[in-house]
Amino acid sequence: MLIAQAAVAYTGHPQRGAAMTEIHDLASLIRAGHPIILIETAEEPRVVETFRHVIAQVWRPLFHWSLTAGLRRLDMDLEDELAPPEATAALGHARESSQRSIYLLCDFGGYLRFPLAARLLREIAERQQCAAHTMVLIGTQIELPSELENHVVRFALKLPDEAELAKLIRDEAFLYSREHSGKRVEIDSAAMKKIVRNMLGLKLADARRIARQLIFRDGVIDQKDLPEVAKLKFELLNRDGLLHFEYDTAAFADVAGLSRLKRWVEQRRAIFTGETRAAGLDPPKGLLLLGVQGCGKSLAAKAVAGSFGVPLVRLDFGALYNKYHGETEKNLRASLANAEALAPCVLWCDEIEKGLATSDSDDGVSRRVLGYLLTWMAERRKPVFLVATANDVSRLPPELLRKGRFDEIFFVDLPTDAARDEVFRLHFERRDIAWEAFELSALVAATEGFSGAEIEQVIVSALYAAHADNLPLAQRHLLEEIRNTRPLSILMAERVNELREWATSRTVPAD
Ligand SMILES: Nc1ncnc2c1ncn2[C@@H]1O[C@H](COP(=O)(O)OP(=O)(O)OP(=O)(O)O)[C@@H](O)[C@H]1O
Ligand SMILES: [Mg+2]
Identify whether 286 is part of a domain. Answer: yes
Rg of the chain over all Cα atoms, to the nearest angstrom: 30
Same domain flag for 53 and 133: yes
**Contact call for residues 208 and 281 (beta carbons, < 8 A):** no
Residue 367 has pLDDT above 60, yes or no: yes
Residue nearest to atom 11 of ligand 1 (CA): 453
In a domain, 26, yes or no: no
405 and 424 share one domain: no
- Distance in angstroms (rounded) separating the CA atoms of residues 74 and 61: 8
500 lies in some domain: no
75 located within any domain: yes
- Both 70 and 198 in one domain: the answer is no
Do both 271 and 222 map to the same domain? Answer: no
Calculate how far, in angstroms, residue 297's C-alpha sits from the geometric centre of ligand 2. Answer: 5
- Residue among 288, 293, 281 at smallest CA distance from 304: 288
Q: Tell me: do 274 and 350 sit in the same domain.
A: yes
* CATH code where residue 333 lies: 3.40.50.300
Do residues 203 and 256 share a domain?
A: no
Q: Is the peptide bond before 398 cis (omega within 30 degrees of 0)?
A: no
Counting ligand 1 atoms within 8 A of each CB, the residue from 255, 262, 298 with the most, and so the one to mutate, is: 298
Per-residue pLDDT reduced to its tens digit, 29-87: 999 999 999 998 888 998 999 999 999 999 999 999 999 988 999 988 766 667 777 88
Q: Which of 127, 154, 181 is the last residue of a domain?
A: 154
Q: Are residues 258 and 381 in the same domain?
A: yes
Is the domain of 328 the same as that of 260? yes
Does the pLDDT at position 325 exceed 70?
no
The last residue of one of the domains, among 360, 389, 412, is 412
Q: Find the 342 Cα to ligand 1 centroid distance in Å.
A: 27
C-alpha angle 467-469-474 in degrees, rounded to nearest 5: 75
State how far the alpha carbon of 29 is from the alpha carbons of 18, 152, 375, in Å.
17, 11, 36
Tell me which residue of 262, 228, 254, 283 sits closest to 412, measured CA to CA: 262
Q: Look at residue 159 and tell me if it is in a domain.
A: no
Q: Kindly state whether residues 286 and 406 are assigned to the same domain.
A: yes
Q: Does 8 fall in a domain?
A: no
SS (H, E, C) 344-355: CEEEEECCHHHH
Within-domain flag for 38: yes
Q: Which of 412, 437, 463 is the C-terminal boundary of a domain?
A: 412
CA distances from 50 to 21, 55, 145, 158 (A): 11, 9, 27, 12
Which domain does 173 fall in, by range? 166-237
| Phi, psi (deg, nearest 5) at residue 228 | -65, -40
Question: What is the spatial distance between Cα 167 and Cα 16, in angstroms, rounded to a whole number?
Answer: 10
Tens-place pLDDT, residues 227-286: 888 888 888 876 666 788 887 778 888 999 999 999 999 999 999 988 888 888 888 999
Cα-to-centroid distance, 368 and ligand 1 (Å):
31
Under the banding of pLDDT at 50, 70 and 90, the label for residue 24 is very high
Q: Kindly state whether residue 23 falls inside one of the protein's structural domains.
A: no
Whether residues 408 and 427 share a domain: the answer is no
Q: Do 407 and 444 fall into the same domain?
A: no
CATH number, domain with residue 451: 1.10.8.60
How is 279-337 classified by DSSP, letter by letter? TT-PPP-EEEEEE-TTSSHHHHHHHHHHHHTS-EEEE-HHHH--SSTTHHHHHHHHHHH
pLDDT in tens, 385-443: 999 999 888 888 888 888 888 999 999 999 999 999 999 999 999 999 988 889 999 99
What are the pLDDT digits (tens) for 89-125? 999 999 999 999 999 999 998 899 899 999 999 999 9
- Ligand 1, CB cutoff 6 Å, lining residues: 255-257, 291, 293-299, 391, 415, 423, 426, 452-453, 456
Name the residue at shortest CA distance from atom 24 of ligand 1.
293
**How much is the pTM?**
0.68
Q: Which atom of ligand 1 is nearest to the CA of 426?
A: 4
> How many separate domains does the chain show?
4
The reply to whether 406 and 282 lie within a common domain is yes
- CATH number for the domain harbouring residue 143: 3.40.50
